[in-house]
Amino acid sequence: METTEIKLPQRTPEQLHNQGGNLLMRCYEQENSTNCYGHIPQKTNAPDYLRAKKKALKIAKQYNDTPLYLHIKNFL
């Protein structure tokens, strides 16, 4: 049986930023039981932000989305 690999389309940096920001925002909202009202949380060393970022990285890694993983890790 052959394994097929799903190839994701190439995304622009703006698309990566939007996707990563949305994922981070959703994780932040879930972790902290709050509503961000569509705004991406600001990068800080606060424990609640770091928990959300860790969860977003875990989700990106789970789906083998390397460009999104690297973007969240480096820029968000």
pLDDT tens profile 13-64: 999 999 999 999 999 999 999 998 989 889 999 999 999 999 999 999 999 9
Taking residue 71's Cβ as centre, other Cβ atoms within 10 Å add up to: 21
In 3D, which of 64, 74, 60, 63 has the Cα closest to residue 19? 60
Residues 28 and 43 sit within 8 Å (Cβ to Cβ): no
The reported pTM is 0.84
**Per-residue DSSP letters for 35-57?**
--TTPPPPP---HHHHHHHHHHH
pLDDT tens profile 33-43: 999 898 988 99
Residues 23 and 16 sit within 8 Å (Cβ to Cβ): no
